């Protein structure tokens, strides 16, 4: 396998929406609304101020993705990059695809100088992903997360 990493463009919107639907099914057993998902993916691809997607390819086929969004930290006078929508196609897992995506994002973040760190949230029962994040050097935070979700009903 020869993995290459590249930023996503508008024509990638279908595979990204497909991967997001697969994440919903696999990690939270929910069926996301396809129209809403397609619009949400396209909105980010069309507006770099929202964030960006990074894709992993093997021989021209997209096999993995991550989304990065931003959070300002006044404590650090810098921006956290949030790693979200993490997905690797099942046939390509355990071959280091996510590791490549993560290391790429980490390198790019460090190069910029205005990024103060990387953050992510992970579903409580997703121990596989948690172990990978820890192996990659991330530390569990002292925070629990709270939200009021106006859109998704669980």
Ligand X SMILES: CC(C)(COP(=O)(O)OP(=O)(O)OC[C@H]1O[C@@H](n2cnc3c(N)ncnc32)[C@H](O)[C@@H]1OP(=O)(O)O)[C@@H](O)C(=O)NCCC(=O)NCCS
| Residue ranges binding ligand X (CB under 6 A) | 23, 26-27, 86-88, 93-99, 122, 126, 128-129, 131-132
- Judged by beta carbon, residue 14 or residue 136, the one nearer ligand X is 136
- Judged by beta carbon, residue 88 or residue 105, the one nearer ligand X is 88
Shortest Å distance, C-beta 53 to ligand X: 14
Query: DSSP letter at 36?
Result: H
Shortest Å distance, C-beta 27 to ligand X: 5
* Helices assigned H by DSSP within 1-154: 13-28, 34-46, 97-112, 127-135
- Judged by beta carbon, residue 101 or residue 115, the one nearer ligand X is 101
Residue found under tokens 């020869």? 2
| Three-point CA angle 13, 14, 15, nearest 5° | 95
- Judged by beta carbon, residue 51 or residue 96, the one nearer ligand X is 96
Shortest Å distance, C-beta 143 to ligand X: 16
Q: In what order do the strands lie in the sheet with 61-73?
A: 3-7, 51-58, 61-73, 78-88, 115-119
Shortest Å distance, C-beta 3 to ligand X: 9
Question: What six digits make up the tokens of 97?
Answer: 């695809």
């Amino acid at each position: 396998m020869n993995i290459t990493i590249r930023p996503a463009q508008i024509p990638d919107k279908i595979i990204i929406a497909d991967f997001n639907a697969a994440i919903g099914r696999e990690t939270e057993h929910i069926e996301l609304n396809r129209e809403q998902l397609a619009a949400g993916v396209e909105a980010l691809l069309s507006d770099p101020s929202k964030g960006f997607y990074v894709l992993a390819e093997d021989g021209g086929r997209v096999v993995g993705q991550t989304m990065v969004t931003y959070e300002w930290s006044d404590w650090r006078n810098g921006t956290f990059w949030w790693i979200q929508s993490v997905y690797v196609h099942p046939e390509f897992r355990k071959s280091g695809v996510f590791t490549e995506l993560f290391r790429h994002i980490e390198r790019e973040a460090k190069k910029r100088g205005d990024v103060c760190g990387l953050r992510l949230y992970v579903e409580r029962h997703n121990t596989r992903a948690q172990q990978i994040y820890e192996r990659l050097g991330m530390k569990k935070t002292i925070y629990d997360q709270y939200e009021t979700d106006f859109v998704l009903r669980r």
